């Protein structure tokens, strides 16, 4: 496990893009799981920019989303599928036949999760899982207390996650359940790139830095991964204040 700390979010995104470019250079048809949220936006801009200059191609890559809101069809503007299309997939040369987006509006969401898992297997397993970090330590939509043995499944979102989504979007009508890749699938990825930036994440980072697997902080399930790289904002390294502790307890 390696940690790299950044004062400058652009440098963090640049390093993440370098890792992805190196992987694609070595293995153009790599299978990559992609996060949503504020954190990867700069990375996606950087990848799109490198594609425009001819430095990067995703044409042979298999792209997967990590998670989705239950009940939102891919065409819904708040869906994670739309987010990924708008911010990355439609801006690069991704092959639609190799883009795998969880169907949040499926009549059988458990089957949609299983189909997503099968697509990962058919691609030879994930070469790279790019993860963001939830304020409560979630990865994808694997919430505190979840099993670490799971594959794709449907989840009830934690109150801290719902509050964060309300705060970020200004919308109170977002689904309270989601579809997600499971921790077991993520741990089987050959490499994991965890991106940690944004406010409210010091408690989750402190749990990771404590170096112990803790079911209350799903991100710590990655601690034993043989190839985990954490790219994080410097401010998340600062010790927790009592106020952070209270926030973590409340979350």
Marked catalytic residue, from 51, 62, 138, 165 = 138
Question: Tokens 């980072």 — which residue?
Answer: 205
The residue among 10 and 59 lying less far from ligand GLP, judged by its C-beta, is 10
Q: Under a CB-based contact definition with an 8 Å cutoff, are residues 245 and 203 in contact? A: yes
The 10 Å CB-count burial string (b at 16+, else e) for 133-162 is: bbbbbbbbbbbbebebebbbbebebbebbe
Question: Does residue 136 carry a catalytic annotation?
Answer: yes
CB of 231 to ligand GLP, least distance (A): 13
CB of 55 to ligand GLP, least distance (A): 25
CB of 22 to ligand GLP, least distance (A): 23
Marked catalytic residue, from 68, 103, 117, 143 = 143
The residue among 25 and 166 lying less far from ligand GLP, judged by its C-beta, is 166
Q: Pairing relation of β-strands 31-34 and 128-131?
A: parallel
CB of 96 to ligand GLP, least distance (A): 23
- Spatial neighbors of 152 by CB under 8 A, at least 6 apart, are 102, 112, 113, 114, 116, 117, 179, 180, 181, 182, 185
Tell me which H or E stretch contains 195: strand 191-196
Question: Does residue 93 carry a catalytic annotation?
Answer: no
The residue among 41 and 209 lying less far from ligand GLP, judged by its C-beta, is 41
Three-class secondary structure of residue 111 per DSSP: helix
Residues at the site binding ligand GLP, with contacts judged by CB under 6 A: 35-39, 66-67, 132, 134, 140-141, 161, 198
Name which of 237, 202, 227 is nearest 217 in CA terms. 202
What spatial distance separates the first Cα and last Cα of the chain, rounded to whole Å? 27
The residue among 48 and 135 lying less far from ligand GLP, judged by its C-beta, is 135
The residue among 174 and 223 lying less far from ligand GLP, judged by its C-beta, is 174
Marked catalytic residue, from 65, 87, 136, 142 = 136
Q: Under a CB-based contact definition with an 8 Å cutoff, are residues 251 and 136 in contact? A: yes
CB of 62 to ligand GLP, least distance (A): 19
Marked catalytic residue, from 46, 51, 65, 67 = 67
Question: Does residue 67 carry a catalytic annotation?
Answer: yes
Catalytic residues: 67, 136, 138, 143
């Amino acid at each position: 496990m390696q940690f790299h700390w950044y004062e400058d979010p652009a440098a963090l995104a640049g390093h993440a893009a370098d890792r992805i470019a190196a992987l694609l250079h070595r293995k153009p048809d790599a299978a990559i799981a992609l996060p949503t949220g504020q954190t990867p936006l700069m990375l996606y801009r950087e990848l799109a920019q490198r594609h425009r200059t001819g430095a990067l191609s995703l044409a042979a890559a298999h792209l997967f989303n990590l998670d989705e809101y239950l009940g939102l069809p891919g065409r819904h503007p708040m869906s994670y599928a739309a987010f990924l299309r708008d911010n990355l997939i439609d801006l690069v040369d991704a092959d639609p036949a190799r883009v795998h987006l969880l169907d949040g509006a499926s009549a059988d969401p458990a089957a949609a999760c299983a189909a997503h898992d099968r697509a990962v297997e058919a691609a030879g397993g994930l070469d790279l899982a790019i993860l963001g970090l939830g304020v409560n330590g979630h990865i994808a939509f694997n919430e505190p207390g979840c099993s670490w043995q799971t594959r794709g499944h449907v989840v009830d979102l934690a109150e801290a996650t719902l509050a964060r989504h309300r705060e970020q979007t200004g919308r109170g009508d977002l689904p309270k359940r989601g579809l997600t890749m499971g921790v077991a699938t993520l741990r089987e990825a050959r490499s994991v790139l965890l991106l940690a930036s944004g406010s409210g994440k010091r408690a989750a980072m402190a749990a990771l830095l404590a170096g112990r697997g803790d079911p209350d902080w799903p991100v710590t399930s990655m601690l034993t991964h043989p190839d985990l790289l954490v790219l994080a904002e410097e401010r998340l390294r600062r010790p927790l204040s009592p106020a952070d502790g209270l926030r973590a307890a409340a979350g």
